[in-house]
């Protein structure tokens, strides 16, 4: 089965370099018309230039694809709305949104500047919120949409010096979880990509050339294309890097019930092993399901019949 996007329109943010560029090129090769969005700033978010996006557009047009460059700042909702309008005016619809734009301001939390922290949150989290909000109504009307949030192992598992980046990236998982519930009946699928690749964002972190040679952006893009395909999964966190792929999931143990006389901090600590028992753990869909589980445990222990 060959995945094609003929007749579809994709917006890829942060597409002037690295992963975003790789994503935009591959979507175009597979028939998508692509809005190549890039503010053109440095990796810390400073500066702006449309030249990087224009170079990617030229490359796409060079192999017969269709693309336009856009320099919208994803933190400014008005600019994002204008970008979406440009896509609709040009091609009539938007089918795919890849939220890839991001910056780094790495420092240990003790040394981190709060303005830097807020800026990282603004670009990664609110930038993705802005772009998603701008296409959400359109995708609902179309009864079709594919959206990818770019999360990170720094958010899922932590990484020294990246409290700001990690917080923003984990927030995107929470955004996906709720938008999945709200978008499913409208044909909108939303997933998270957790990539690791050789880009300017990782050039100071990994220096071994043999390792870097394995970490091609194109290997990550294979995962991205799968997440925006018509047959894509939904509410899926896909880790991708160096040609390896894995699924990350947030699961919850079955837990234990403590009767009223034992509902103390001391008893909670004393039962941590039982609380942590993984034998019946599972992934919950929707926060209310945790409440239902807890209430059912209490009702069963107290022999209370629930309606």
Question: Cβ atoms within 10 A of the Cβ of 244, count?
Answer: 11
SS3 state at 8: coil
Strand 96-99 with 145-150, pairing = parallel
| Distance (Å) of CA 164 to CA 91, 94, 111, 147, 156 | 37, 31, 12, 23, 13
165 is catalytic: yes
Q: At what angle do helices 163-183 and 114-121 cross, to 10 degrees?
A: 30
Residue 273 in 3-state DSSP?
helix
**How far is residue 85's CA from residue 32's CA, in Å, rounded to a whole number?**
17
Cα–Cα dist 6/64, whole Å: 13
What number of other Cβ atoms are within 10 A of residue 160's Cβ?
Answer: 10
Q: Say if residues 102 and 14 touch (Cβ distance below 8 Å).
A: yes
Which residues pair with residue 150 across a beta bridge?
Answer: 193
Q: Which of 77, 144, 157, 165 is catalytic?
A: 165
- Return the SS3 of 99: strand
Residue 243 zone, left/alpha/beta (φ > 0; ψ -120 to 50; rest): left
Tell me which residue of 102, 18, 17, 31 sits closest to 60, measured CA to CA: 31
- Which of 188, 191, 85, 82 has the alpha carbon at shortest distance from 142? 188
CB–CB of 239/153 below 8 Å? Answer: yes
Give the catalytic positions in this structure: 165
């Amino acid at each position: 089965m060959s995945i094609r996007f003929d007749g579809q329109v994709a917006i890829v943010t942060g597409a002037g370099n690295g992963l975003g560029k790789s994503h935009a090129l591959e979507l175009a090769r597979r028939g998508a018309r692509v809005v190549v969005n890039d503010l053109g700033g440095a990796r810390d978010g400073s500066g702006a230039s449309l030249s990087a996006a224009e170079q990617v557009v030229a490359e796409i047009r060079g192999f017969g694809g269709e693309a336009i460059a856009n320099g919208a700042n994803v933190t400014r909702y008005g600019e994002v709305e204008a970008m979406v309008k440009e896509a609709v005016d040009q091609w009539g619809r938007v089918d795919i949104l890849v939220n890839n734009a991001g910056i780094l301001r790495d420092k240990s939390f003790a040394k981190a500047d709060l303005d830097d922290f807020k800026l990282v949150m603004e670009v990664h989290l609110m930038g993705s919120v802005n772009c998603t909000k701008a296409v959400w109504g359109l995708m609902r009307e179309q009864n079709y949409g594919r959206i990818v949030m770019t999360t990170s192992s720094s958010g899922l598992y932590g990484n020294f010096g990246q409290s700001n980046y990690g917080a923003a990236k984990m927030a995107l998982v929470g955004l996906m979880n709720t938008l999945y519930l709200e978008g499913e009946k409208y044909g909108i699928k939303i997933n998270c990509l957790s990539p690791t690749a050789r880009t300017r964002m990782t050039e100071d972190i990994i220096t071994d050339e043999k390792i870097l040679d394995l970490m091609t952006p194109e290997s990550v893009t294979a995962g991205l294309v799968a997440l925006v395909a018509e047959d894509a999964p939904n509410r899926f966190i896909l880790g991708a890097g160096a040609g390896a792929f894995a699924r990350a999931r947030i699961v919850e143990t079955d837990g234990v019930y403590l009767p009223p006389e034992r509902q103390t901090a001391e008893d909670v600590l004393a039962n941590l092993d039982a609380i942590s028992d993984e034998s019946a753990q599972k992934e919950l869909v929707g926060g209310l399901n945790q409440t239902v589980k807890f209430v059912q445990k209490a009702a069963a222990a107290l022999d209370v019949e629930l309606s």
